[in-house]
Amino acid sequence: MRNLNQHTITEAVIERFADTPSPRLKRILTHLVKHMHDFAREVELTEDEWMQGIEFLTRTGQKCDGNRQEFILLSDTLGLSMLTVAMNHDKPEGCTEATVFGPFHVDGAPHYENGADIANGAKGELCEVSGMVRGIDGEPIAGAVLDVWQADATGHYDVQYEALAQPQNRGVLVSGPDGRFNFRTVAAVAYPIPVDGPVGDMLRATARHPWRPAHLHFMVRAEGYETLVTHVFRRDDPYLDSDAVFGVRESLLGDWVPQAGGGYALEFDLVLNPKGSKRSVGSAHATRGLMRSESIS
Amino acid sequence: MRNLNQHTITEAVIERFADTPSPRLKRILTHLVKHMHDFAREVELTEDEWMQGIEFLTRTGQKCDGNRQEFILLSDTLGLSMLTVAMNHDKPEGCTEATVFGPFHVDGAPHYENGADIANGAKGELCEVSGMVRGIDGEPIAGAVLDVWQADATGHYDVQYEALAQPQNRGVLVSGPDGRFNFRTVAAVAYPIPVDGPVGDMLRATARHPWRPAHLHFMVRAEGYETLVTHVFRRDDPYLDSDAVFGVRESLLGDWVPQAGGGYALEFDLVLNPKGSKRSVGSAHATRGLMRSESIS
């Protein structure tokens, strides 16, 4: 394997994966290398562009910390996140559709009782949210764990503030015996994704706007059902057709209904897919720890 | 643009680049998104694998610092670096071939006179290196600036040591009026690329060895000639056919000749390509600052 040129190198690299113990990892890397090399050949990538790519990825990694995930943001803005979600959640008709996870979820959010105010001091107009968690046949799902998170009236998530004393606009609730949940929060508004990093550079360089339509995030887990990660979007938002991360589904539009006494009410049911009803492609593969050294015995 | 699925999302993302001011950037991103999405669809990427990819890239970025470039190492070990070099340096017969830059070059290495000892205290057997910088018609090139760097007898570059007081095994020399250069260094040995980061995880997970055959790096710059980035490899090295970064060229093999008084001598001429003699694909594009926000007026 000497004197490899731009035409022979791809096969040589793939051949180097011949002894990979995991067939799944071997398959993934083979396709990855083939597409990466085809890309470079098709655009006749220059060394200067290659170095700009290296620097871009390096800056993206270095922008990440406990509260910021710039690679997820990059994946979101290049449509890879929504593509992956769409492939893995081809659910039966009637289930609530999934959308992107986004970079702002935090594990270990505070637990609240139904009826509580999860805004916890965040800026914004009051919004009373309620709904039912149910199965596809209409059965109420009691004890479902709902992780909820959203931005405030200025378009920022709590983790985007440097010195916030406590979590705001995020919390974990449990559906009641009738499957119902309700909580108070602030009315969601459209906001720009963070543009002070490499993803912002990409958006500016491509004359793309950074706006996401107003939405409320849900992650819903219940025994015997597939976990649902989704948003509810505000039906009247001007960015529904140009979401910076390609996540809008018609079925996920909800109505923030103005209330006589001020504020809004939003009612939205979350319909879960029973496990095994329709297998997602993802569940066919054992995929944990593909690239961690400790996974190799 | 709502309800995008795994089949419709790629065109939607590409459409979002419609207003990109730079046609070159638009072309690059269009091909990048197409290949990234095709890759994900072909392997039916799961959400768990997607997250492992995000984490792998994040760790790769965070492993980088002033002395370590893990993304270059990743590009090297996936053959993208050598592919890019090969595409951009399709030189006329007789020129010294290019190979990968690698992650261990440092700007601002110390300047030395010809004959100097650039090892500067590094461990290893003595090696006297000499040669001539010349053009393809044999003309000596005086005043060529040679950047030289290599690992020591333990296989480490100076920047891999935490607390080294001065640069070792690296320096900048200038060819004399006859085009000749010479310096003293240590004999190059085969060494493993650093495996304490994500690239090491990838190599272990694919049962690949991390070894590079012994080599000495050169970057040679001279007025009127294309810059040459290359290595000279030791002809008797056992890893010539399995270089971890796919960089070996038969024409770059040199002889470390044992000397009667101990140590080695290496003689190797560096033949530069006159600018304009054969245009590289790279020079056709104006590619600086594609993704930096300041490049967008």
Tell me what ipTM this predicted complex has: 0.91
**Which neighbouring-strand residues pair with B145?**
B174, B221
Q: Which fold has domain A76-272?
A: Protocatechuate 3,4-Dioxygenase, subunit A (2.60.130)
Number of Cα atoms under 13 Å in the Cβ half of residue B15: 12
Nearest Cα residue to B130 out of B77, B199, B183, B167: B183
pLDDT band of residue B278 (cuts 50, 70, 90) is: low
Please report residues of A whose CB lies closer than 8 A to that of B26.
206
Minimum mean pLDDT range among A56-60, A164-168, B120-124: A164-168
Go through A157-168 and write b for each residue having 16 or more CB atoms within 10 A of its CB, e for each that does not: bbbbeeeeeebb
Asked if the C-beta of B218 comes within 8 angstroms of chain A's C-beta atoms, the answer is no
User: What single-letter amino acid sits at A141?
Assistant: I
Domain ranges of chain A: 1-45, 76-272
Mean pLDDT of A184-213: 97
- The model's pLDDT over A226-248, given as tens digits with 9 standing for 90+, comes to 999 999 999 999 999 999 999 99
CA B291 to chain centre: 22
Report the residue from B61, B204, B289 with minimal CB separation from A64: B61
CA–CA–CA angle B65, B67, B71 (5° rounding)? 60
- Which tokens sit at B24? 């070159």
Asked if the C-beta of A107 comes within 8 angstroms of chain B's C-beta atoms, the answer is no
- The model's pLDDT over A169-194, given as tens digits with 9 standing for 90+, comes to 999 999 999 999 999 999 999 999 99
User: What single-letter amino acid sits at A167?
Assistant: P
- Which tokens sit at B136? 């393809």
Mean pLDDT of A130-147: 96
Q: What is the pLDDT of residue B163?
A: 77
Q: Per-residue pLDDT for A40 more than 80? A: yes
Mean pLDDT of A135-147: 96
Helices (DSSP H) in chain B: which residue ranges? 9-15, 23-42, 47-63, 70-77, 80-88, 198-205
Report the residue from A9, A21, A207 with minimal CB separation from B86: A9
